[in-house]
Structure 1
Amino acid sequence: MPAASSHLPETRRSRLIAIGLICGAMLFFALLDASAKWLSAHMDPLQTVFVRYAGSMVLVLVLLNPWSRPGVLRTKRPVLQGVRSLLLLGSTVLNFIAIKYLQLAETVSIMFAGPLLVALVAGPLLGEWPGPRRMAAIAVGFLGVLVITRPGFGGMHPAAILSVFGCICYSFYVLATRQLAAHDPPETTMVYSGVAGTLVMLPVIPFVWSMPQTPLAWAILLGTGLLGGFGHWLLILAHRLAPATVLAPFIYSQIVWMIVLGWFVFGQFPDGWTFAGATIVISSGLYLLYRERVRKLPETAARID
């Protein structure tokens, strides 16, 4: 008992640090999206995608390279690594194009449907079939996406469709990441993401590149790589200190940053439909997390006993 008691403060401290790291990562990702939206008025979004991945690749290889981390490039599932990297790249491309026309809060609200889609397709792909309560939460969550996009009612720019497809790509990327976690360390996966994204986008650059005209444009463009790289690095550090079930609810803090940045940088504030839909989607996602913790609780209690 004394040993267990002394261990509790350390565990709580680690979890608090992890929560701070995950919230910091969400801030970096919100700043990345805001930067991409600002840059879309000055250059092709594909140019921003390339610099985001190239800058991130340089940063990651400085921190994680074969000399400082021997074996970091060694993967047991090279095909899955490639597919996962392409899914992440596809999600980024679709998001950066959509964000040119949509508000920041609108795109992130649609992306928050990702956990719902992951829970839905994890059944046939991973054998993790959702029960009736989780299925109901998934259905309600997708209803929230319809409230945000309002298809057929002219309430949102058609670019919302790109956000929906970006969410689909991101969901399958999450599933691929979960499968890779059993074979490769997260550092290896992070390196492959940056390298693959850069190499795939490289042939596109000659057709879309335009020279930034101001020092501010250069700074924001180069900053996208740092924001993306540091954001993913903070995610890795956070998940080393606390389980995903503890950290997952704090991912939704990103919408706060997106609303604030959208308001102060672009003078855009979400309408009532976006707030209502986002509330539905986030509530459904949180309920799924709750059901996941309830489902695992008996197993945890058994291990403690």
Structure 2
Amino acid sequence: MLCLAIMFALVKLASERGVHLVESLFYRQALAMPIVFGWIMLTQGAASVRTQRIGGHISRTTLGLVGMVFNFGAYILLPLTEATTIGFTMPIVATILSAVLLKEATGIHRWSAVLIGFVGVLVVVRPDTAHFPPLGLAVALVAVVLTSFIALLLRDLGRTEGASVTVFWFTFLSIPPLGIAMIFVAQAHDPLTWGILAMIGISGGLAQLGMTGALRWAPVSVVLPMDYSTLLWATALGWLFWNEWPQPTTWIGAALIVASGLYIAWREHIRLKAARDVVVA
């Protein structure tokens, strides 16, 4: 989560130094590729990336690239803490999509958590004021919806594909289209900016490996709450680089959103545990 917060902060810094969004995306993926592949070689071997679901990985890559555009855009347009807080609504939106698209049973507990989460969003964005740029808020909310769709795709891929395989194919398949786009936007930079771009790729790759390893060595119910530690890192980095400090309403809204997300994760854990108990019985 620390690596993830660093990556988004560096994307914002790079944008302020004239780096095109496509450049940040390209170097994020291209420089992460050797880190991801090296990890796979050391732990599982090259043969582990074989897949019979290349179509699913292409779909995940297509949607993932669009999602990255909006996620990076949100952090460029909004303060780090606020962009991070709005991103935490992903479990809330994913719950709605699961109920609507997958017809999953969603009881009063999770719907109540969804409602509390949306109240938290309203507290953060303060629609009665002009505290944040409307474009930034719109981009951040679209990013949340796209990330929720990606979560559904990953759930489907996860039935047959390991996390490392999914990470590898997303990184690998995203480089060619980004490379083509780079023909039109690539530009020279000063040494400091090149260093920032390199660190975007390295921190992004390490974040992916960290999350993959966490899910490998600990239960999902233990790992997922750690996502919310990003808020602390984003706040620290926002203060360090931009002298930004969240509004009091951001902390109140974040508390509601985090509580909502944690409760949804806990109810999902209970539901899956009950389903396993029924199968065993």
TM-score, normalized by the shorter chain, greater than 0.5: yes
Contact 1:54 1:225 in 2 (8 A): yes
For structure 1, the 5+ residue unaligned runs are 1-25
> Are the structure 2 counterparts of residues 234 and 286 from structure 1 closer, same or farther at C-alpha, using a change threshold of 3 Å?
same
- Residue in structure 1 matched with residue 122 of structure 2 by the alignment: 146
Superposition deviation, residue 231 in structure 1: 0.8
Whether 1:173 and 2:150 are equivalent positions in the alignment is yes
Contact 1:95 1:163 in 2 (8 A): yes
Cα offsets for 1:214-238 (capped at 9, x unmatched): x222111111111111111111111
Q: Distance in 1 between matches of 2:85 and 2:176?
A: 30
SS in 2 for 1:183: coil
SS in 2 for 1:154: coil
Q: Distance in 2 between matches of 1:55 and 1:163?
A: 25
Whether 1:164 and 2:147 are equivalent positions in the alignment is no
Whether 1:41 and 2:16 are equivalent positions in the alignment is yes
SS in 2 for 1:40: helix
- Identity, in percent, stands at 29
Q: Distance in 1 between matches of 2:3 and 2:22?
A: 20
Contact 1:76 1:184 in 2 (8 A): no
| Aligned positions of 1:225-240 closer than 5 A | 225-240=201-216
The one-letter code of the counterpart of 1:118 is: A
Cα offsets for 1:238-282 (capped at 9, x unmatched): 111111112111110110000001001111111122222211111
Superposition deviation, residue 58 in structure 1: 2.6
Q: Distance in 2 between matches of 1:228 and 1:263?
A: 21
Contact 1:28 1:227 in 2 (8 A): yes
| Aligned positions of 1:24-63 closer than 5 A | 26-42=1-17, 43-63=19-39
Q: Which has the larger radius of gyration?
A: 1
Contact 1:84 1:173 in 2 (8 A): yes
CA RMSD of aligned residues (A): 2.2
Superposition deviation, residue 203 in structure 1: 1.7
For structure 2, the 5+ residue unaligned runs are none
The one-letter code of the counterpart of 2:10 is: S
Aligned length: 278
Q: Distance in 1 between matches of 2:84 and 2:62?
A: 20
SS in 1 for 2:77: coil
Contact 1:76 1:183 in 2 (8 A): no
- Residue in structure 2 matched with residue 202 of structure 1 by the alignment: 179
Q: Distance in 2 between matches of 1:263 and 1:98?
A: 18
Instruction: Name which of structure 1's ranges 75-84 and 237-246 shifts more when overlaid on structure 2.
Output: 75-84
- TM-score, normalization: structure 2? 0.91
SS in 1 for 2:144: helix
